[in-house]
Amino acid sequence: MTTVVTVTREELEARRKQILIRRSVTLEQFANRAAQGQLVGDEWDDWNTLEEVTFLLGE
């Protein structure tokens, strides 16, 4: 059985903000580090989450 999770735009934006605050970076800084392969460990998990959030927000 498939489970559908519904989230609001505000929840997605809050999730993105939470990740960026925890990492002490802007989205642009994090994107640049990811593009250069400079992320380590669970930073990649956070980057994947940010990409998913961006997709779901249609940005």
Q: How far apart are CA 51 and CA 34, in angstroms?
A: 11
pTM of the model: 0.85
Per-residue pLDDT of 33-59, as tens digits, reads 999 999 999 999 999 999 999 999 998
Cβ contacts of 23 within 8 Å, gap of 6 or more: 30, 43, 46
Q: Please say whether the beta carbons of 15 and 53 come within 8 A.
A: yes
- Spans of all domains in the chain: 9-57
Count other Cβ atoms within 10 Å, centred on residue 42: 8
